[in-house]
A and B are shown apart, each in its own frame.
Chain A
């Protein structure tokens, strides 16, 4: 561009033109280029062809006038500055023109070159400036529009993403929120600025503190901020928000502003929770359904689909009504279960009938479990269904089966009841039979006792030869009768299986002599020789049942003598077998009697049969003897053989096995002597005889007084107890069969309800029952021993002595038979225990209590062991009892227990052990009573 200013002058007056030209020259020198036009159209023409730096325009032209002129030129050259020229009177037009955009106006005639120069330069400059300004302005406007557009886009974006932005001015605590923020918050007021407090007020109670604290912390420590919290919108809806923010600090590190975004993440949050649950549930085989707290299905697993046939989208957002096939009741019930779960926050289970997509019914047991969030609110409900269709089917079938079973059971029960009634009846009849047996035994033996007893007494009185003969006859008859009666009773017993064998010491050297004595006499009467032979290799003492062996031998020998008129009867014992722990002995009874026909050899062993019909007439007897012999031998494991021929005599043989017995002889038995009968040591003994039968009373009294004993009589159990209470006796002879109160009961009463020393008074039972078990019954009732009726005086004597000797108080009795124990002595002595206690009453009580607990158990096991003959156990229990006894100061049992222990080790003297056990039991029971009294005194 040339430096030269290109000027266009539009002026019609030539004089003015010349003047102007002259002024211009002066003003600008040669730095201009002047073009002239004399009217508007010429000017416009030139303007079309060239660009000018400035236009100087006369407003009054021949083809235009005033402002019109100006505007035309302006239009034609919008970016060229224009100076207007006016006449002196037209200056207001000039001003108008400037208003319209002219740069300046000059009044013709008053134009000086200085003015012109200035005006031109000014106009050009001004124009330049204005142009620049308008460009700038336009640019600015464009920018503003852009910005607005961006802002709008951002707002739209926020809306879409549900992210709002916010700013907190720290000093003023003023909050600035974007639209979307307000949207999220549900704010309806137009105010854009909220205070920090009002911001907080929208936050859920539980989260408020967290948000406030975190914000303050961020501000203080210039930390970025990320929070998830809940708000409660003004409409009450709770939403979960995620807030992000960063702190802006000044140069001094002090926070000025904190700003960031806030996003509503409620759905996503919910979704995430749902996803976690869903993941777990997918793996489950069972049908798992996730419900929202309102009971609407949000998600189901494969198991559900498998079970129900329905896919998720078929049931989503429903309450699962489709499974109920529209049954209103069950739909309502299920709904109420859901409400209950939400309300009580506990699981609920119930059984329900569902229908699958095919319409087939299936039973499930449905469990609804609430899922709580960290604020203990129910977020979801999980429903797990287990198919119990099969189970229910089975239940049905089971019920059916049960019904059938019950029916059969009832029938069976009926049959069983009938059976039981029959059994009971049988048992009762058996009891009756037993009772009868026992009674018979007693009834028969009692008068027998009298007959034989008195007969014996009679024999001791001075009688002449004839009388002697008669009395002997009576005696023999009596004895025979007794034998027969015993046979019958025995037979009945054996028949009813009521016989048990003993395994006690059997001493051959004491067994046989009495038999021999008896039988010798009988044989002598018939002039028959009676021989015995005992193999010396047979051990003296073995274990067996002497009574039964006696019976067998007596029977066989008796028979032999009976059926032999002349010749001999031989009894032989031979050792035929030896084992480590046993021996086998062969018994034979051989006679030279009438013999037995071979055809009858077997039948003679049957009950009630004799060899011939004549036998009964001629020889008498019941015919039971051999039958009993056979049974008894077989009971002991042997067999009876008979060798016989008519006229050639008979030989009865049997073999029995006996276990070896190593015990020494009972020293007391050894010292059994006739001489003791008059032993002065025992004179003056006070005996209470309890017997209701007058004859027996007289008999017994005689025997006892012969021994220089004092006898008092009681006729019933009641009076016996009374007499014992009122008087002092050393021993009681107690018949069992008594009216009102029997011997057992009387004994029990004495043991239980009398005081020392009477409660321990020795009691010997007199029993007519030879039934086994009788002995035990006596012992159990508290008796010390027993004799059978009719009693053998010697036997009675020995037993009395024994019992007295073993009774703990007896030492004084034997020395001073009349004196009673001066003071009642205690069995227990707590002195030792008191010493140990060092003043602690609790200790003493504890020890007493332990003793009271333990001792009855120990006693019971002691007696049980003795009953079962488990001597090893007896020894152990006895040993174990020692400490307890020692602690309680029960000194009087010390030696006894030690002795029992020792005997138990050896396993011999079962009777002795049994007696010791009885004594131990008595003393311990007394100790227990004493200690119980002590204990209650303490408490």
Chain B
């Protein structure tokens, strides 16, 4: 199982990576949308977790790219500290599988991730 996590904050990446890595799950990280696409093409992840508020390319923009051109079959979970209803709706409307608000509840994180990949 390969999970790609995209966030411009290295601490968040490290924390999520640590939380989700186990014997049959590998976590790969990217710091921005452009790198994320490159990495995704390399490793073909089973799940993508993506922050919304990022410089250069916003998470929603990345979500659109993924769904339209590259990886429409791969489930994407969006996360953001901007916990507004319209942000959640926008993400889901653009094709995200689920939405986490930040700060992340790491306790529930792995359970919800399992839900998404099945």
Contacts and interface: CB of A to CB of B under 8 A. Distances in A.
A847 interface: yes
B10 interface: yes
B10 A840 contact: no
A847 B106 contact: no
B14 A846 contact: yes
A838 B22 CA distance: 12
A304 interface: no
Among A836, A847, A887, max chain B CB count under 10 A is at: A836
B103 interface: yes
B11 A854 contact: yes
Given A836-B106, A879-B81, A882-B81, A887 B11 contact: yes
B38 interface: no
A884 B81 contact: no
A122 interface: no
Interface in A858-908: 879-880, 882-884, 886-887
Given A836-B106, A850-B10, A887 B15 contact: yes
A847 B18 CA distance: 10
Given A836-B19, A846-B14, A883 B9 contact: yes
B11 A836 contact: no
A886 B10 CA distance: 14
Contacts of B44: none
Given A836-B19, A880-B9, A884-B9, A850 B14 contact: yes
A849 to B, nearest CB: 9
A862 to B, nearest CB: 16
Contacts of B8: 880
Contacts of B12: 883
Contact of A883 (B18, B103, B106): B103
A100 interface: no
B9 A836 contact: no
Contacts of B53: 879
Nearest to B102: A883
Interface residues of A, number: 17
B20 to A, nearest CB: 11
Interface string B1-35: 00000001111101100110000000000000000
B14 A847 contact: yes
Contact of A847 (B15, B81, B102, B103): B15
B68 to A, nearest CB: 28
A333 interface: no
Nearest to B55: A876
Contacts of B102: 883
Nearest to B107: A835
B9 A847 contact: no
Interface in B72-89: 81
A837 interface: yes
Contacts, number: 36
A664 B14 CA distance: 42
A345 to B, nearest CB: 41
A75 B84 CA distance: 148
A851 B18 contact: no
Contacts of A836: 15, 18-19, 106
Interface string B45-71: 000000001000000000000000000
A843 interface: yes
Interface in B81-118: 81, 102-103, 106
A822 to B, nearest CB: 31
A719 B52 CA distance: 53
A897 to B, nearest CB: 12
A598 B10 CA distance: 72
Among A837, A838, A879, A887, max chain B CB count under 10 A is at: A887
A843 B14 contact: yes
Contacts of B11: 847, 850-851, 854, 883-884, 887
Among B8, B18, B19, B106, max chain A CB count under 10 A is at: B18
A880 B103 CA distance: 12
Contacts of B9: 880, 883-884
Given A836-B19, A879-B81, A886 B14 contact: no
A846 B14 CA distance: 8
Contacts of A838: 18
B16 to A, nearest CB: 10
A927 to B, nearest CB: 13
Nearest to B16: A836
Nearest to A843: B18
Given A883-B9, A883-B12, A884-B9, A840 B81 contact: no
A838 B14 CA distance: 13
Interface in A279-337: none
A887 B103 CA distance: 9
Contacts of B15: 836, 847, 887
A623 to B, nearest CB: 57
A288 B1 CA distance: 60
A886 B19 contact: no
Among A837, A850, A883, max chain B CB count under 10 A is at: A883
A886 B103 contact: yes
A880 B106 CA distance: 19
Contacts of A837: 18
Interface string A842-856: 010011001100100
Nearest to B81: A882
A36 B12 CA distance: 150
Q: Which 9 A-B pairs have the closest CB atoms?
A: A843-B18, A850-B10, A850-B11, A883-B9, A886-B103, A883-B12, A887-B11, A884-B11, A846-B14
29 contacts: A836-B15, A836-B18, A836-B19, A836-B106, A837-B18, A838-B18, A840-B18, A843-B14, A846-B14, A847-B14, A847-B15, A850-B10, A850-B11, A850-B14, A851-B11, A854-B10, A854-B11, A879-B53, A880-B8, A880-B9, A882-B103, A883-B9, A883-B11, A883-B12, A883-B81, A883-B103, A884-B11, A887-B11, A887-B15
Given A837-B18, A840-B18, A879-B53, 13 more contacts: A836-B19, A836-B106, A838-B18, A843-B14, A847-B14, A851-B11, A854-B11, A879-B81, A880-B8, A880-B9, A882-B81, A883-B12, A883-B103
